């Protein structure tokens, strides 16, 4: 299930590195729970429509983002949290919640990122960030998605996940989160598998760290 949140902005400038603030807001709305620090069965998009200026991102009167989860009870918690306190940060306030049920994805394989897709793996003592151009990227995305499917009690032997590297605007984005720089991919993804598996990925996102704002797809 997905909720689309319409946001009043007060036309304030938002820092470029605001992903930790958005994540903190999500965690505020979820409230005390057992989700923090575990494999996340949810994802959320970037805030839409900002225009870069020398001071940060400028938004018009309204903007939006979405939050998705395989767990409908978690969606309900977020909605309750928003209704209790719709404020976010830097003057942003939720003005409307729109609920979207899982779509029929049986005839669809191509998905576009709504936040950068982050893939990381340990290489000795170092952490390697895997980008869309790396031939291992699809296997790693599949591996992480299988972990989430297993956590949810699901499986799909037909699953395959790859970046669509033919996309002309494919690229990378550097996201700083809590003073740590992360290099992630901005590239469409092809998901082959059961329709319910594609719905699952549509909700929980792809790659690592979906619980802090990476890997949401649309």
Interval 133-185: pLDDT, tens: 999 999 999 999 999 999 999 999 999 999 999 999 999 999 999 888 999 99
Contact 187, 163 (CB under 8 A): yes
Answer yes or no: do 32 and 77 share one domain.
Answer: yes
**C-alpha 183: how far from chain center:** 15
Tell me the three state secondary structure of residue 83: helix
Does 123 have pLDDT greater than 90?
Answer: no
The domain of 83 spans: 2-100
Q: Is 187 a member of any domain? A: yes
Higher pLDDT among residues 168 and 39, named by residue: 168
Answer yes or no: do 205 and 117 share one domain.
Answer: yes
Cα 54 from Cα 103, distance rounded (Å):
39
- Number of separate domains in the chain: 2
Average pLDDT, the chain: 94
Cα 184 from Cα 195, distance rounded (Å):
26
CATH value at residue 136: 3.30.70.1900
Contact 202, 111 (CB under 8 A): yes
Answer yes or no: do 93 and 7 share one domain.
Answer: yes
Global confidence as pTM = 0.94
Positive/negative CA dihedral, 35, 39, 45, 47: positive
Q: Is 19 a member of any domain? A: yes
Does 35 have pLDDT greater than 60?
Answer: no
Answer yes or no: do 73 and 116 share one domain.
Answer: no
Q: From the CB of residue 149, how many other CB atoms can be counted at a distance below 10 Å? A: 21
Answer yes or no: do 132 and 203 share one domain.
Answer: yes
Q: Is 217 a member of any domain? A: no
Picking from 67, 100, 133, the residue at the C-terminal end of a domain is: 100
In this predicted model, what pLDDT tens digit does every residue of 56-68 receive, in sequence order? Answer: 999 878 999 999 9
């Amino acid at each position: 299930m997905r909720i689309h949140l319409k946001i009043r902005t007060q036309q304030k400038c938002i820092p470029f590195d605001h992903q930790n603030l958005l994540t903190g807001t999500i965690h505020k709305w979820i409230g005390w729970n057992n989700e923090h620090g575990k494999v996340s069965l949810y994802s959320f998009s970037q805030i839409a429509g900002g225009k870069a200026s020398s001071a940060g991102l400028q938004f018009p009167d309204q903007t939006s983002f979405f939050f998705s989860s395989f767990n409908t009870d978690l969606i309900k918690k977020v909605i309750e949290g928003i209704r209790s306190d719709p404020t976010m940060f830097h003057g942003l306030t939720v003005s409307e919640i729109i609920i979207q049920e899982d779509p029929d994805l049986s005839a669809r394989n191509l998905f576009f990122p709504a936040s950068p897709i982050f893939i990381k793996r340990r290489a000795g003592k170092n952490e390697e960030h895997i980008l869309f151009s790396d031939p291992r990227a699809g296997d790693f995305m599949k591996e992480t998605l299988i972990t989430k499917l297993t956590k949810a009690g699901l499986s799909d032997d037909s699953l395959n996940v790859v970046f669509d590297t033919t996309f002309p605007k494919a690229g990378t984005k550097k996201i700083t989160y809590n003073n740590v720089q992360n290099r992630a991919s901005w590239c469409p993804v092809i998901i082959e598998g059961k329709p319910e598996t594609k719905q699952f990925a549509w909700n929980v996102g792809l790659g690592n760290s979906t619980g802090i704002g990476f890997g949401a797809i649309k």
